[in-house]
Structure formats: structure tokens, C-alpha cells
Structure 1
Amino acid sequence: MNQKILSLLCGLALAFSTVGAIGGERVDVNSADAETLAICIDGVGEVLAARIVAYREQNGLFTEIEELMNIKGIGVKIIELNREYLIITLPDGYQKKYETEADN
């Protein structure tokens, strides 16, 4: 699919989702559903998008984009290709599930 069509689909997906989009083209990996992730992240289809959501549900919210590389099938190439379109929003005082008070 050409880039214009992908951008249009991403914008439409963001407009009709609860994603915290900025400028209509960025996607928050902590709030986007699998369908939105699959449409908006180049190189990520339905399978990888489902893995992102499953990882997020099991491990807590992402605190940096590079954490996506913990997911099988996502590497440096996908991260670098999409870095400018990915954002991470965290609630105030958010702490990862595996972190403890001693870690801070």
C-alpha cells in the first residue's frame, strides 16, 4: 500500500479511536488498540499488534519506545522506521509492575 493511503488510514483510525493522537499521525503505544497499532505502525500487522497489546497487559505500560523490542518480531528496523510516529503517555506517578520502591 502506498504511504498516502497508509497515512489516511492511520488518521482515520486515530480519529475514531480513544488513542491520544497528536497531529493525527502519531500513535500512543500505551493506549492504542491492536487494530490501530496494526494500521499505524509500518511493519506491524495484526499478529505483532496483538503481541504489543498482550505484552502491555502482562508487563504494564511501556516507559520507552525501545521496550517494544522485547516483543518477538519487533527489532531496531521497525523502531527506527516508526520512531517519529510513536509516543508514550504515562499517568502521573506510574510505576512498572516489576519495579519496587527500592528500584527508584
Structure 2
Amino acid sequence: MIVTVLDICEDRLEDLFNGRPFDMLDAALTDTVKKDMIEGMRMDTKKVRYENYQELYLYCYYVDGTVALMTVPVMGISPESSSHASSVYNYALSLGIENQLMNILRDVGE
């Protein structure tokens, strides 16, 4: 039977969510899923205003940055890419935080 890339990704994500990371990046992602994503959900129940950008950034990290980090193993990194995996994760994190900031701006506008 031929194993497809999607099968590999599915197995890897299942292992990740079960606390069995494949490598160091998966280990960091496992920790993010277990701790940070849940913390973001808790923040939604405790606070609606943030005193400064640092607090807002942390909130954005928890609620959308973590989601962006989780998408990297699903989407993968092209073998032709010259970017190091840590750079790809940093780009994904930045995108997630910016997406959350845009969501907040949209909500304020409404």
C-alpha cells in the first residue's frame, strides 16, 4: 500500500494531539496546543479590554497565533523552499497574530 503525504500528515497530527511529537518542532506545537490555546480561551472569559500592546499581543498569540502554528504541519513546507523550518513557523505565527488584530479592528468598526 502506498502511503500518501496526507496519511503521513494525519498520523503526525494524531500523534501530536496525543502528546507523541515526531520532532522538536512538533514538541513545541504539542505544548502550544495543550497550554496556550486553552489559555486564549480562558482570556476570552476573563477580559475584554487590554491596557497596552503587550497584553493585546499576548491575547492574539493565544487565540490565533497558536492556530497558525498548528497549520504548518498540515500545510507542510515545500521541499524546494530555502527557508528553515523555524522561519516558516515564525512567519505563520506573525500571520496568525496579524489575522487576530484584523478581526479585532473589524469588530471595533462594527
- Using the size of structure 1 for normalisation, the TM-score is 0.34
Q: Which has the higher helix share?
A: 2
Q: Give TM-score, length-normalised by structure 2.
A: 0.33
Which of these two proteins has the greater Rg computed from alpha carbons? 2
